Amino acid sequence: MRLFSFLYEKTLQWSRHPKAPWVLGGVSFAESSFFPIPPDVMLMPMSLAQPKRAVFFATLTTLMSVLGGMLGYLIGLWAFEFIEPWLLQSHYGEKYELARIWFAEWGFWAIFLAGFSPIPYKIFTITAGVVGMAFLPFLLASFIGRGARFYLVALLMAWGGGRMEHILRQWVDWLGWIMVALVVAFLVLQ
């Protein structure tokens, strides 16, 4: 079944669209405060399809992600009581509690690690506001962590270029079905 090949080809087509950077910026902003899909999903194919613009895409993603993180911080600082019931009852409840523990132990480094890792960054931006993390260290850690992640992703895709595109085209269905199997296994084992 070649479902993932079809999706891969469509994604590459969309990544070449003139409005794609606008969508990338919007997704990057939203993911840092409320949206569930990480910007890497767009950043990777855009950097692969247009390797000469990879640094621009990484810069755009970083700036918009940090701006979205600022919104998350403000939500945590001023509006947490409105989202707390939903957050604690959702699948993000445990991650929020983990974020609080990380902030208590590591402070600045918690937001830096969250910015670079696949842990939902939005949880850490909101938690930074809840715990009252100093704003300038929050911004600095966000820029460094998010920037390191997005530049690494974009530059690896640009470096791989046509070779990477060919390899992904060849293996995308296998990789897609393996990911589906891992998600199903994770859900069953929980």
The maximal CA–CA distance of the chain, rounded, in angstroms, is 51
Provide the domain count of the chain.
1
pLDDT 10s digits, 7-49: 777 777 888 889 999 999 999 999 998 888 888 888 988 998 8
Q: Other CB atoms closer than 10 Å to residue 34's CB: what's the count?
A: 15
Q: Residue 73 belongs to what domain range?
A: 3-189
- Average pLDDT along the chain: 87
